[in-house]
Amino acid sequence: FKERIAWFKEAKFGMFIHFGLYSQLGGEWKGKDIWGDAEWIQAHADIPAQEYAMLTHTFNPKNFNADEIAKLAKDSGMKYLVVTSKHHEGFALYDSKYTNFDVANTPFKGRDILKELKEACDKNGIKFGTYYSILDWHHISQERNIDGDSVQQRWKFTRMKLGKAKDYETFVRNQIKELIDNYDTDIIWFDGEWCDWWTDEMGLDLYNYIRSLKPSILVNNRFGTREKFEKDFGTPEDETPEDLLSYNWESCYTLNTSWGFKKNDHEWKSAETVYNMLHEINDKGGNFLLNIGPDGNGDVPKESVDILLEVGKMLEKK
Ligand code: JFZ
């Protein structure tokens, strides 16, 4: 394990990327500003899956430039990158054999975002990782929980349709295998594991399967009940632990308040704040995963670029 985790411990600083169909909306639905994280807009605006799927017809981030992003990571002092291969919306940001709800069925077809990023990372000496959501609002196995108390609860805790759990488990395995086979991902960063139909046993099975496919890979603890699984690394979110931890961990934060691109989110952290956070986290033994959310054209918000480059300069000076 020590050998497997070594590069990660040395890396200390990484780039998180939230990019998906929601990036086109920028937190607005039918002219209205929707509260909360922009990647959750389908839930917060209560958009039926069929209607949401129309967003594939307009997904065309022509300005997406993987090289520029990998260089930005490098110039900011980051050593690895984790990109949303599939967020809760269920859309695959790569060409997946197991669904049509993917980048290959958009006007952007012919380009493969994960492939471009992976190649750009290799060129720039950045390790490549992929985020994968277990919660899936598009897959036919799951449905909104109509008993939920709030619109958020209804989408956050979906129901598994009777007899469909095995199908979904297979689907997840197949897609993860694609991430390993086709993109040689170094990290699987799970999320959305909190639904009651996803058991620790399923999580552990999946973890073992992943390790059998690629023994050197790192998997975060969100494949099952987080507190039970510290290895390969823990993921306190938006929070830096008070005390030193006995296991490896990574804190993730976003530069403003939303992970996915949100037009009206102007609460940017300053370069000084980011710099200080990085040092506090690293001093306590953790890694810092810091998020950018490209917009629907594939452009990284200028504010994010400016802050990150400034942090890079500060790191060079010290
Ligand atoms: C999840 C996602 O729902 C969110 O959209 C984003 O991708 C983020 C990185 O991860 O949200 C979480 C996950 C875990 C906690 C809080 C929000 N947590 O542990 O407190």
pLDDT digits (tens, 9 = 90+) for 109-153: 999 999 999 999 999 999 999 999 999 999 999 999 999 999 999
Q: How far is the CA of 27 from the centre of ligand 1 (A)?
A: 17
pLDDT digits (tens, 9 = 90+) for 173-219: 999 999 999 999 999 999 999 999 999 999 999 999 999 999 999 99
Q: How far is the CA of 317 from the centre of ligand 1 (A)?
A: 33
Of all protein residues, whose CA lies closest to atom 15 belonging to ligand 1?
A: 237
Ligand 1 pocket test, candidate residues 85, 237, 252, most atoms within 8 A of CB:
237
What backbone torsions phi and psi does residue 101 show, to the nearest 5 degrees? Answer: -85, 70
Query: What does each C-alpha distance from 225 to 174, 222, 277, 309 come to in angstroms?
Result: 22, 7, 27, 36
Average pLDDT of the chain, as a whole number: 96
Q: What pLDDT score was predicted for residue 229?
A: 86
Q: Which residues line ligand 1 (CB under 6 A)?
A: 37, 39-40, 191, 237, 252, 259
- ipTM value, please give it: 0.96
pLDDT digits (tens, 9 = 90+) for 233-280: 999 877 888 877 889 999 999 999 999 999 999 999 999 999 999 999
The domains of the chain, with CATH numbers, are 2-317 (3.20.20.80)
What band does 1 get if pLDDT is binned at 50, 70 and 90?
A: confident
Q: What pLDDT score was predicted for residue 151?
A: 94
